[in-house]
């Protein structure tokens, strides 16, 4: 038989409203472009990938989770529901073994973002897809706006980090590459409350921006 | 008659032709040719009749059993060289690709691809100009080498399942240089202490596997002839110079398949050149003949206009069906 005072306490706890500031849980699909246009040098700088993974998991609280996806001609996903940088980094390394025919083909990045949305849209809390890429989408079934609209409908935020030091800006003709790439991604990111970040000042500065974006996402 | 009225009349006539165009399905042994005829000053001559042509098959005169001088819908893969050397021109190329889309008629279908750091073809082979324009705006990016043969091969693969005339139109400025081959020159594991490199090398497998990613000129020529593709080339002359080997091979492929070649100087109007290609494709003759031997072998075929002032251009080789 339950004591009356304990019953009252339990009832009060159940009836107490949740504090408004209680952060939501977060589910993230973390995609990395490993197509051939991403040079071996970029791939070799594993620390960049790790930094992004760490930036995401640093924000994690109990109940948060992520899944890794590597993008070549198609997206290969690792196991779902990962919560540590160690697990996610191990998944990234495992997935890197993609057939060369897939890596030399197109880079359907809009379709990949859409695949990321499908991985997280049924999960609880704040949901986001983060894509690290050199910014050259090709061979997509979906256009940028189509993918953005689908993500917005699913309530998933799209976030893209464009990272390629080989792109140039022609002072006479305006943005030639990387900035233009972010213009394309920015349209879809804005539709979902996400962002496109250009990694022009070093990975550390960029991942700090990403951390802020994810923090805002959780508290939105 | 106003320009709009002329365009409307032209489109109506074309749609009528779509329903009436000659079919090669009535006789599986009929070999199709698509011919361009130009006069001495280079103008298209679109109104000849069957009796204005002769066809020889391995040197033997043969009868033309199917003939039409009505427009045939275009099915084309536009393959754009987006190698690093094209970076300064990539906005022009993007705009020209958009202009190319504008030139297409109702019933024409196109897909757009690029070759550079990667070889990519849009999965959309469509007459929907909005989709094609989206592709030109969002999916054309510079960088990498010039995997010309791999680009042409990818264009052909994209059209393989399509019946009738299939055209691969390539814009390129340089020599074949397939970036996938560079992965054979990845520094050895011992020289780079990073743990990722061995994974990349392992993933690529032996060098043969990488070589398969890079098509060769002879392979592309063989595929184009065997599978009845027409190859068009727009050579964009930047500061780089084509090597004789690349030029000769590309010209061979174009000539063997009855396609056309256009040379552009750096500042030339690319959009106008694409428009010329589309106009030519809309004014080709459809000609069919029965091979003199059903031997499954390659035959030389020669199409000529009887009027010696005119120059007819069509495929030079075909593979005859076999009896079985």
Give dist(CA B155, CA B259) in Å, integer. 14
Q: What range does the domain containing B243 cover?
A: 75-178+214-282
Residues in chain B within 8 Å Cβ distance of A99: 203
Assess if residue B291 is contained within a domain.
yes
Contacts of B254 (CB under 8 A, 6+ apart): B231, B232, B233, B260, B261
One domain for residues B90 and B239: yes
**Given the DSSP bridges, would you call strands A126-133 and A174-175 parallel, antiparallel or unpaired?**
unpaired
Q: What is the CATH number of the domain that holds B125?
A: 3.40.50.410
Q: Tell if the CB–CB gap between B122 and A139 is shorter than 8 Å.
A: yes
Q: Tell if the CB–CB gap between A137 and B117 is shorter than 8 Å.
A: no
Residues in chain A within 8 Å Cβ distance of B209: 100
| pTM, two decimal places | 0.83
Radius of gyration for the alpha carbons in chain A, expressed in angstroms and rounded = 20
Chain A residue with CA closest to B204: the answer is A100
Select from B88, B215, B144 the least CA-distant residue to A36.
Answer: B144
Assess if residue B18 is contained within a domain.
no
φ and ψ at residue A101, rounded to 5 degrees: -65, -30
Q: Tell if the CB–CB gap between B138 and A96 is shorter than 8 Å.
A: no
Q: What is the pLDDT of residues A49-84, one digit of tens each?
A: 788 898 889 889 999 999 999 888 888 899 999 999
A104 close contact with B: CB closer than 8 A:
yes
One domain for residues B85 and B161: yes
Select from A199, A193, A195, A192 the least CA-distant residue to A178.
Answer: A199
> 3-state secondary structure string, chain B?
CCHHHHHHHHHHHHHHHHHHCCCCCCCCCCEEEEEEEECCCCCECCCCCHHHEEEEECCEEECEEEEECCCCCCEEEEEEECCHHHHHHHHHHHHHHHHHHHHCCCCCEEEEEEECCCEEECCCCECCHHHHHHHHHHCCCCCCCECHHHHHHHHHHHHCCCCCCEEEEEEECCCCECHHHHHHHCCCHHHCCCCHHHHHHHHHCCHHHHHHHCCCHHHHHHHHHHCCEEEEEEEEECCCCCCHHHHHHHHHHHHHHCCCEEEEECCCCHHHHHHHHHHHHHCCEEEEECCCCCECCEEEEEEEECCCCCEEECCCEEECCECC
Q: Given this model, what pLDDT does residue B284 score?
A: 97
* Residue whose token pair is 């109990």: A62
Burial bucket for residue A90 (CB in 10 Å: 0-12, 13-18, 19+): middle
Q: Which two tokens stand for residue B139?
A: 């999916």
Assess if residue B193 is contained within a domain.
no
Q: Which two tokens stand for residue B110?
A: 């196109």
Residues in chain A within 8 Å Cβ distance of B194: 44-46
Residues in chain A within 8 Å Cβ distance of B179: 36, 104
Helix axes B129-138, B90-103, angle to 10 degrees: 180
**Given the DSSP bridges, would you call strands B119-121 and B109-115 parallel, antiparallel or unpaired?**
antiparallel
Q: Given this model, what pLDDT does residue A164 score?
A: 64
Q: Tell if the CB–CB gap between B117 and A177 is shorter than 8 Å.
A: no
- What is the complex's ipTM, to 2 decimals? 0.81
Q: CA of A37, closest CA in chain B: separation in Å?
A: 5
- Enumerate domains of chain A plus CATH numbers: 23-219 (3.40.50.410)
One domain for residues B164 and B64: no
Residues in chain B within 8 Å Cβ distance of A138: 114, 118, 120, 122, 139, 141
Instruction: Name the maximum alpha-carbon separation found in chain B.
Output: 75
Give dist(CA A217, CA B4) in Å, integer. 53
One domain for residues B226 and B293: no
Look at chain B and report how many structural domains it folds into.
2
**Given the DSSP bridges, would you call strands B261-265 and B229-237 parallel, antiparallel or unpaired?**
parallel
A143 close contact with B: CB closer than 8 A:
yes
Q: Tell if the CB–CB gap between A44 and B200 is shorter than 8 Å.
A: yes
CB atoms under 10 Å from CB of A201, counted, come to 10
Assess if residue B8 is contained within a domain.
no
One domain for residues B234 and B307: no
Q: Given this model, what pLDDT does residue A102 score?
A: 63
One domain for residues B142 and B171: yes
> Which regions in chain B score pLDDT beneath 50?
1, 3, 7, 9-10, 12-23, 25-26, 184-209, 211
Rounded to a whole number, what is the distance in angstroms from the first to the last CA of chain B?
55
> Which regions in chain A score pLDDT beneath 50?
9, 13-20, 168-175
Q: Tell if the CB–CB gap between A176 and B210 is shorter than 8 Å.
A: no
Residues in chain A within 8 Å Cβ distance of B117: 36-37, 136
Q: Tell if the CB–CB gap between A137 and B139 is shorter than 8 Å.
A: yes
One domain for residues B278 and B315: no
Select from A216, A177, A184 the least CA-distant residue to A200.
Answer: A177
One domain for residues B143 and B46: no
Assess if residue B5 is contained within a domain.
no
Chain B residue with CA closest to A109: the answer is B139
Q: What is the CATH number of the domain that holds B59?
A: 2.60.40
Q: Tell if the CB–CB gap between B87 and A101 is shorter than 8 Å.
A: no
Q: What is the pLDDT of residues B223-274, one digit of tens each?
A: 999 999 999 999 887 655 556 677 889 999 999 999 999 988 666 788 899 9
Q: CA of B162, closest CA in chain A: separation in Å?
A: 19
φ and ψ at residue B256, rounded to 5 degrees: -65, -30
Give dist(CA B40, CA B324) in Å, integer. 44
Helix axes A144-154, A178-191, angle to 10 degrees: 30
One domain for residues B300 and B276: no
Select from A23, A25, A15 the least CA-distant residue to A123.
Answer: A25
Assess if residue B40 is contained within a domain.
yes
One domain for residues B251 and B102: yes
Assess if residue B23 is contained within a domain.
no
A94 close contact with B: CB closer than 8 A:
no
B240 close contact with A: CB closer than 8 A:
no
Chain A residue with CA closest to B140: the answer is A138
B95 close contact with A: CB closer than 8 A:
no
Assess if residue B127 is contained within a domain.
yes
Q: Given this model, what pLDDT does residue B153 score?
A: 93
One domain for residues B174 and B306: no
B87 close contact with A: CB closer than 8 A:
yes
Residues in chain B within 8 Å Cβ distance of A177: 87, 141-143
Q: Given this model, what pLDDT does residue A59 score?
A: 86
Q: Which CA distances in Å does A65 have to A26, A93, A128, A132?
A: 7, 18, 11, 18
One domain for residues B250 and B278: yes
Q: How far is CA A203 from the centre of its chain?
A: 15
Give dist(CA A42, CA A161) in Å, integer. 14
- What is the DSSP secondary-structure string of chain A? ---HHHHHHHHHHHHSPPPTTPPPPEEEEEEEE-STTS-HHHHH-HHHHHHHHHHHHHT--TT-EEEEEEESSSEEE--S-B-SHHHHHHHHHHHT---HHHHSS---HHHHHHHHHHHHTTSSSEEEEEEEE-S---S-SS-HHHHHHHHHHHT-EEEEEE--TT--EETTTEE-SHHHHHHHHHHHHHHTT--EEE--S-HHHHHHHHHHHHHHHHH-
Q: Given this model, what pLDDT does residue A84 score?
A: 94
Q: Tell if the CB–CB gap between A100 and B209 is shorter than 8 Å.
A: yes
The answer to whether residues A116 and A103 touch, using CB atoms and an 8 Å cutoff, is no
Q: Given this model, what pLDDT does residue A34 score?
A: 81
Give dist(CA B34, CA B314) in Å, integer. 6
B192 close contact with A: CB closer than 8 A:
yes
């Amino acid at each position: 038989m339950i004591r009356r005072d304990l019953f009252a306490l339990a009832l009060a706890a159940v009836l107490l409203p949740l504090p408004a500031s209680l952060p939501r849980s977060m589910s993230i699909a973390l995609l990395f472009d490993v197509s051939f246009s991403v040079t071996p040098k970029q791939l070799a700088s594993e620390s960049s990938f790790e930094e992004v993974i760490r930036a995401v998991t640093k924000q994690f609280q109990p109940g948060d989770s992520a899944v890794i996806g590597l993008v070549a001609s198609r997206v290969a996903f690792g196991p779902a529901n990962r919560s540590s940088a160690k697990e996610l980094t191990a998944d990234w390394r495992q997935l890197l073994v993609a057939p060369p025919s897939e890596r030399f083909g197109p880079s359907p990045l809009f379709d990949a973002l859409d695949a990321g949305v499908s991985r997280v849209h049924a999960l609880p809390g704040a949901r986001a897809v983060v894509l690290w890429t050199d910014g050259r989408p090709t061979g997509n079934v979906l256009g940028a706006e189509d993918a953005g609209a689908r993500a917005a409908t699913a309530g998933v935020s799209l976030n893209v980090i464009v990272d390629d030091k080989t792109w140039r800006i022609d002072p006479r003709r305006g943005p030639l590459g990387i900035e233009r790439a972010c213009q394309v991604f920015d349209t879809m990111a804005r539709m979902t409350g996400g962002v496109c970040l250009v990694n022009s000042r070093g990975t550390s500065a960029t991942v700090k921006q990403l951390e802020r974006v994810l923090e805002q996402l959780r508290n939105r | 008659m106003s320009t709009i009225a002329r365009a409307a009349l032209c489109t109506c006539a074309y749609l009528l032709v779509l329903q009436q165009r000659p079919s090669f399905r009535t006789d599986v042994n009929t070999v199709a040719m698509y011919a361009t005829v130009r006069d001495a000053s280079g103008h298209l001559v679109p109104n000849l009749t069957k009796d204005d042509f002769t066809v020889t098959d391995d040197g033997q005169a043969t009868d033309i059993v199917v003939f039409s001088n009505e427009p045939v819908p275009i099915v084309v893969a536009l393959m754009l060289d987006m190698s690093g050397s094209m970076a300064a021109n990539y906005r022009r190329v993007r705009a020209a690709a958009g202009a190319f889309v504008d030139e297409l008629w109702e019933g024409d279908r196109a897909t757009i691809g690029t070759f550079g750091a990667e070889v990519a073809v849009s999965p959309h082979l469509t007459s929907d100009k909005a989709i094609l324009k989206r592709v030109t705006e969002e999916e054309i990016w510079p960088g990498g080498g010039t995997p010309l043969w791999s680009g042409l091969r990818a264009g052909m693969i994209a059209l393989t399942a399509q019946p009738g005339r299939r055209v691969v139109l390539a814009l390129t400025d340089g020599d074949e240089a397939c970036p996938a081959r560079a992965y054979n020159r990845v520094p050895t594991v011992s020289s780079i202490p990073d743990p990722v490199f061995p994974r990349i090398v392992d993933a690529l497998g032996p060098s043969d596997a990488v070589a398969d990613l890079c098509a060769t000129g002879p392979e592309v020529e063989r595929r184009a002839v065997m599978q009845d593709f027409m190859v068009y080339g727009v050579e964009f002359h930047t500061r780089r110079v084509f090597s004789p080997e690349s030029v000769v091979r590309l010209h061979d492929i174009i000539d063997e398949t009855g396609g056309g070649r256009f040379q552009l100087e750096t500042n030339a109007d690319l959009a106008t050149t694409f428009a010329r290609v589309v106009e030519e494709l809309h004014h080709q003759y459809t000609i069919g003949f029965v091979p003199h031997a059903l031997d499954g072998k390659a035959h030389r075929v020669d199409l000529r206009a009887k009027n010696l002032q005119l120059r007819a251009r069509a495929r030079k080789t075909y593979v005859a069906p076999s009896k079985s």
